[in-house]
A and B are shown apart, each in its own frame.
Chain A
C-alpha cells in the first residue's frame, strides 16, 4: 500500500507544467480560443515530441506505455492553465483501440496518435438528457456485411479537429462500436459554438455512412467496452477539471492577496478566506478519489465504475461552486472578459455534464450500493 507518486511522476508533473507555462500561457490560450477548432497543430506536435501524446500507447506502437495514474498527472497540469487540445479525446479513442481494436486498426491509428499525426475522439451521445448506454439509439440498417448509418451524434468533443471517430450504434438492441474516419463518404461535421471556447464540440451527421467489418471494433462485450470508455472519460475529465479548479483557486488566492479594501488585502476577511479554504478541502478530497479511480483503470479492477462516479460526482458539484465563488471574489473585474477567472467559470460549466453530472453519478452510485 502506497498512496504516493513516484519520483518519475514528480518529474513528469514538472515537465508538463514547464511545457504549458512556456508554450501555452494564457495569452496563447486566448489566441487559440479564437481559431476554428481551438487546436494548434504546432502545439500538438510539440506535445508529441514531449512524449505526452503517446503516454498510454504501448511502445510497439511508438508510445511510452505508461499508466492512467501518469496520465492523470498530465491532465491535472494541462487543466490548470486550461490548455486547449484534444488530449482527452484522443486518449479515449486510444482506449477504444486498446480494448477492442483489431491488430490492423491498432497499427493504423496508434502510431499516428502517438506522433501527433492524427486526432481521435468518441462520438457516442445523441440526446441532451441521456448519458451512458441509454444515450445510444442510432440504428444501423444492414446491407449484407455492411452497417449503414443514418442519423446524428451530438456533443462530439473536438469534432472539428478529429481524424477518426469511435461511433456507437445499435443493430437491433445489440450495441456496436466502429471506427469512422473523417473522410468516410456521407460523414459531415457541423461545428456548434461552445460556451467554453477552449473546448470545442460539434455534431456528426451520418448520411448513409457505410461501416464494414474491417471498421468495426471487435469487442467481445461491447456494453462492457462502452462502460469502460465512459468511466475512463469520467476519470480523464475529472483530472482536467481538478487541475482547472486548482488553477481557479490559485488565481483567486493571488487576487485576494493583492486586492486591498478597507485598508487590508481582502484575503484577510473570513467571508473571502473561508470560501477559498473550503475550495481547497474539496480539491484535496477529490484528489484522493481521483487517484484511486485512475489506479483501478490500470489494474482493471471491478471497483472502477464506483470510483469513477465518486470522483466525478464530487468534482462536478465542487467545481461548479468553486467557479462561482472565484468569480464573485473578484468583484466587478470577475465579470469582465479581460480577467482570466471567467474562463475557469466557463470550464466548470463545460465540465458538469461531461460524462454525467453530479445527480447522474449519485443515482448510479445508489443503484450500485442500495440496489
Chain B
C-alpha cells in the first residue's frame, strides 16, 4: 500500500497543470462547438484523448495511473470532457479494441478520438429493460448482409449520432444469451428512423429508433455471431465504471458547498445549521470513499484482475449521492425551489442517471448473487 505518486507521475501532474494554465480559458466556453473542437485538437496533439488506448490506433499508450491523474486534474479545473464522443470513448472504442477486426479498428478508433463519429447505444427495447438478454430486435443473414427489423428505445443521442452500437437477436432458437450479436451500424443506413422522446425537463435527450429492413454488411459485426452477450458484458462494466467516476461527484460536492455558502435559512447562514453541515460531511464521506474505491479497482486492473461486479459499488454510491445532493440543493433554495432554474432542473436529472446502465435494484442483485453467493431470483 503506497499512495505516494512517483516523481514521474508528479511531473506528469505538473505538466497537465502547466498545459491548463497556458491553454484553458476562464471561464470555460463549454457550450461553444468551435472551442470544443479546437480544445479536442490540442488534447489529441498531446495524445490525451484515449489516453490508455494503443498508440498504433491513435491512443496515448498510457498507463491507468497517469490516466487517473489526467482525469482528476482536468476535472478539478472544470476543463471540458476528454474527447467529444462520450460513448465511443467509454465503451464502444474499448470493445472494438478488444473484439474488433483490423478494418473495424481502422474505421472507428481514430474517428472516435477526433470526435468525427458520435456513437449511440441500442440495447433497450419497449418490452426489454432490466432483462436485457431477452431482447427481440431481429437481424437475419442475407448473403453478406444482415437485415434488421425491430425497435430500440431510450437511445440517448440517437438524434444526432453517426453510429449505433446495436444488440440484435440473430438466433431465436438457442438460449437467450446465446442468440445475441453485436453490430456497428451507421445511422445513415436506409431503413432506420429516429423519433425523439422528451425527458421530464422537456429536453430531447433520448429517442426511439426503428429498424425497418435496414441492411448492414456482415463486416460490421463485432465479435462472432452469437457472441454479443460477451461483448456487451465488458461494455456494460465500462459504462458502469465510467458513470461512477468520482471526479464528477467531487464537482457536484463543490457546487453544493458553494450553494450552501450563499444560502440563508431562517435568517441565519445555512453553514451555521448543524443539519446542513452534517449532510455535507456525509456527502464528503461517500465522495471520498468512491474516489479511493476507484483507486483500489485501478490497482486490481493493473494487477490483471479485470473490473467486474465491483463497479456496482460506486454505481450505488453515486445513486445515493445524487439523490442526497439534489434534495439538499432544493432545500437550500428555500421557496426559490418553486421557480424554474438550472439548479431546480439539475435536481431532477438524477432520476435518469440512476437508471441508465442498470437500476439500483439490478446492481444489488448482481452483488448479492455474484459476490455474496445468494440464490438467483
Contact = CB atoms under 8 A, between A and B. Distances in A.
Nearest to A280: B367
Interface in B295-333: 295-296, 298-300, 303, 310, 312-313, 316-317
Which of B281, B363, B369, B375 neighbours the largest number of chain A CB atoms within 10 Å of its CB?
B281
Nearest to A370: B271
Interface in A325-371: 359, 361-363, 365-366, 369-371
B107 to A, nearest CB: 36
A265 interface: yes
B374 A253 contact: yes
A366 B277 contact: yes
B306 to A, nearest CB: 15
Query: Dominant SS at the A interface?
Result: helix
Interface residues of A, number: 49
Interface stretch (A122-130, A139-147, A198-206, A282-290): A282-290
B289 A314 contact: yes
Given A3-B298, A314-B289, A273 B374 contact: yes
Contact of B375 (A1, A268, A278, A299): A268
Contact of B377 (A269, A277, A295): A269
A126 B55 CA distance: 64
Contacts of A18: none
A257 B375 CA distance: 7
Given A288-B292, A288-B296, A1 B313 contact: no
B2 interface: yes
A178 to B, nearest CB: 34
Interface string B259-277: 0100000000001001001
Nearest to A250: B372
B188 interface: no
Interface string B14-27: 00000000000000
Given A277-B364, A359-B278, A2 B377 contact: no
Contacts of A269: 377
Interface stretch (B3-11, B132-140, B202-210, B235-243): B3-11
B289 to A, nearest CB: 4
B28 interface: no
A256 interface: yes
Contacts of B280: 366, 369-370
Interface residues of B, number: 50
B288 A310 contact: yes
A365 to B, nearest CB: 4
B281 A270 contact: no
B361 interface: yes
B289 A280 contact: no
Given A284-B310, A286-B289, A313 B1 contact: no
B225 interface: no
A292 B367 CA distance: 24
Nearest to B64: A1
B65 interface: yes
A264 interface: yes
Nearest to A371: B271
Given A3-B299, A288-B296, A292-B292, A365 B284 contact: yes
Which of A2, A264, A274 neighbours the largest number of chain B CB atoms within 10 Å of its CB?
A2
A291 interface: yes
Contacts of B278: 359, 362-363, 366
B377 A3 contact: no
B295 to A, nearest CB: 5
A281 interface: yes
A69 interface: yes
Interface in A74-115: none
A272 B375 CA distance: 11
A182 to B, nearest CB: 37
Given A265-B375, A288-B296, A1 B2 contact: yes
Given A4-B296, A313-B281, 10 more contacts: A2-B1, A3-B292, A3-B296, A274-B361, A288-B292, A288-B293, A310-B288, A314-B286, A359-B278, A370-B257
23 contacts: A3-B1, A5-B1, A249-B372, A257-B373, A264-B375, A265-B374, A268-B377, A270-B361, A273-B369, A274-B361, A274-B364, A277-B372, A284-B313, A287-B296, A289-B289, A310-B289, A362-B277, A362-B278, A363-B281, A369-B257, A370-B257, A370-B277, A370-B280
Interface of B: 1-6, 9, 65, 257, 260, 271, 274, 277-278, 280-282, 284-286, 288-290, 292-293, 295-296, 298-300, 303, 310, 312-313, 316-317, 361, 363-365, 367-369, 371-377
Interface of A: 1-6, 9, 69, 249, 253, 256-257, 264-265, 267-270, 272-274, 276-278, 280-281, 284-289, 291-292, 294-295, 299, 310, 313-314, 359, 361-363, 365-366, 369-371
